[in-house]
Amino acid sequence: MGTSRGEFGSRIGFIFAAAGSAVGLGNIWGFPSFAASNGGGAFLITYLLLSFLLAYPVLMAELILGRHAKANIISALAGISQKQWQKHIGFVVGVLGTLTAMLILSFYAIVAGWVIAFALEPFANLIGLNELALWFTEFSTGRNIIFMLAFMFLTMLIISQGVQEGIEKWSTRLMPALIIILLLLLIYVFFQEGALKGVKVYLIPDFSRLADIDLIISALGAAFFSLSLGVGTMVIYGSYIAKDENIVSLGFTVTLLDVGIAVLAGLLIMPAMYVAAENGVSIFNEAGALIKEDQLIFSVLPALFDTMGVTGVFIAFAFFVLMTIAALTSSISMLEVPVAYAVENLSIQRNKAAWLVGSVISIASLIIALNFGKLFGLVITVTTQYAQPLLSLVMCLFVGWVWYRNSLLNEVKAGFKKVEEGLFWKVWPNYVRFICPLIIVVVFLKSL
């Protein structure tokens, strides 16, 4: 090896990169859809609580582990192990995490491909290419594959350029653009007829649903997915943080941004649905419940944009560009997991590794696209509902129990001298040792 590792050039560069990883389709597609079908405000409250009380501590475990090891998840888990059997487990869990990251990317790229296609549709319509427009928005294996490949291409292109020139540069360009587009869309939708109704549904909680176990499980899954936990993404991003940075506040800022943008996205989507209803678009299914999940973004919103004439073309474009950006800054963080391993442990050049590993993932994605009905939902369930919480659990156990407390403290202390006096150090170590594993196990068992 011997080559020097990449490192984020600045504090803000890391924040944009890690927030870019966190903010993705999960925030803009998943979160508002879940909220819509799970009692709006009740889901919001549960999600906020779980994000800060459970996901943030796990995020910190990953970031601290990564910066300490200065390595990918596979080496990092083996590195903090004291005994041979722990090293073996660490290795296996690291490999499983890396494979999970690859599998998540393989379904994510398909959804991201839809988003790109939907961004192009309004223009095809505008210039009279109606058949093409239809092809962009209608479900077909051909369309799914072509746009998935386009999206994977962009992801590989960025990752082949490395940490500063690829990840950091593009996240720093794209994240501010994302926030601006989101705010502009939000302001626009707020002034439309019917928006207020959506705001109410979103913000006023149905308290009777707070104790609903299905709601808690969905919210937990959303929080873990949203903070990119369990698969080594945050370990590898943590490993690119300089030693003199205060890692505790960095992690907190990333959590705030992630949660903040999810909440804002909900504030855009829920009112947009009611604006759509006002314009004659049907937003309820036969059973009288709000339309949910993919149909929300891929049918209700486009129908809404269609009612807006030429303005709608640009609004639709802005919205799907927003989603594309969000997806891209996330997908690069998934690809970085196996690529970092290939570069560091197998001594493959970054450029080669990026295209090689990316191609393998594209093939996996192709297989899913060709067997969509059988595999798409299955891969999502296996990776996000099972693998992510379980891998996060093991990560907590490693950081909380296997890693020597002193060395853990020293790692957090680097860049934050007074950490021992603060609340974080008083609470967090016991939190990752006891509370996080316990909650994950309980929720996981309930979900079975």
CA nearest to 261, candidates 343, 175, 191:
175
Token pair belonging to 109: 């790229």
CA nearest to 338, candidates 153, 72, 19, 149:
72
DSSP three-state, residue 267:
helix
Site for ligand TRP contains 333 (CB under 6 A): yes
Site for ligand TRP contains 440 (CB under 6 A): no
In this complex, which beta carbon is closest to ligand TRP, that of residue 24 or of residue 437? 24
User: Tokens 């009279």 identify what position?
Assistant: 128
Using CB under 6 A, which of the segments 4-12, 43-51, 116-124, 222-230 binds ligand TRP? 222-230
Site for ligand TRP contains 265 (CB under 6 A): no
Site for ligand TRP contains 396 (CB under 6 A): no
The amino acid at 173: R
Site for ligand TRP contains 160 (CB under 6 A): no
In this complex, which beta carbon is closest to ligand TRP, that of residue 25 or of residue 270? 25
In this complex, which beta carbon is closest to ligand TRP, that of residue 170 or of residue 225? 225
Spatial contact of 35 and 270, defined as CB atoms under 8 Å apart: yes
In this complex, which beta carbon is closest to ligand TRP, that of residue 160 or of residue 383? 383
**Minimum distance from residue 283 beta carbon to ligand TRP (Å):** 24
The interaxial angle of helices 388-397 and 84-126, nearest 10 deg, is 140
The interaxial angle of helices 309-345 and 141-160, nearest 10 deg, is 50
- How big is the site for ligand TRP, counted in residues (CB under 6 A)? 16
Site for ligand TRP contains 114 (CB under 6 A): no
Build a one-symbol-per-residue string for 173-212: x at contacts with ligand TRP by CB under 6 A, - elsewhere: ----------------------------------------
User: Tokens 């092809």 identify what position?
Assistant: 135
**Minimum distance from residue 215 beta carbon to ligand TRP (Å):** 19
In this complex, which beta carbon is closest to ligand TRP, that of residue 29 or of residue 424? 29
Token pair belonging to 372: 């969509």
- CA dist 13 and 172 (Å) reads 6
Using CB under 6 A, which of the segments 59-67, 223-231, 270-278, 398-406 binds ligand TRP? 223-231
**Minimum distance from residue 28 beta carbon to ligand TRP (Å):** 8
Using CB under 6 A, which of the segments 165-173, 267-275, 328-336, 432-440 binds ligand TRP? 328-336
Site for ligand TRP contains 330 (CB under 6 A): yes
In this complex, which beta carbon is closest to ligand TRP, that of residue 86 or of residue 239? 239
Site for ligand TRP contains 254 (CB under 6 A): no
Which residues, including other chains, have CB under 8 Å from residue 292's CB and lie 6 or more apart?
Answer: 33, 36, 37
**Minimum distance from residue 30 beta carbon to ligand TRP (Å):** 7
The amino acid at 440: I
The interaxial angle of helices 84-126 and 372-380, nearest 10 deg, is 130
Number of residues that make up the chain: 448
The interaxial angle of helices 247-278 and 169-190, nearest 10 deg, is 40
Using CB under 6 A, which of the segments 111-119, 225-233, 288-296, 432-440 binds ligand TRP? 225-233
Question: What is the DSSP track for 244-309?
Answer: TS-HHHHHHHHHHHHHHHHHHHHHHHHHHHHHHHHTT---B-TTSSBP-HHHIIIIIHHHHHHTTH
The interaxial angle of helices 213-226 and 436-447, nearest 10 deg, is 120
The interaxial angle of helices 11-22 and 309-345, nearest 10 deg, is 110
Build a one-symbol-per-residue string for 344-383: x at contacts with ligand TRP by CB under 6 A, - elsewhere: ----------------------------------------
Site for ligand TRP contains 400 (CB under 6 A): no
Name residues contacting ligand TRP, limited to 14-53 (CB under 6 A).
Answer: 21-22, 24-27
Site for ligand TRP contains 218 (CB under 6 A): no
- CA dist 447 and 321 (Å) reads 35
- CA dist 412 and 68 (Å) reads 9
Q: Which residues contact ligand TRP by CB under 6 A? A: 21-22, 24-27, 101, 104, 225-226, 228, 231, 233, 330, 333-334
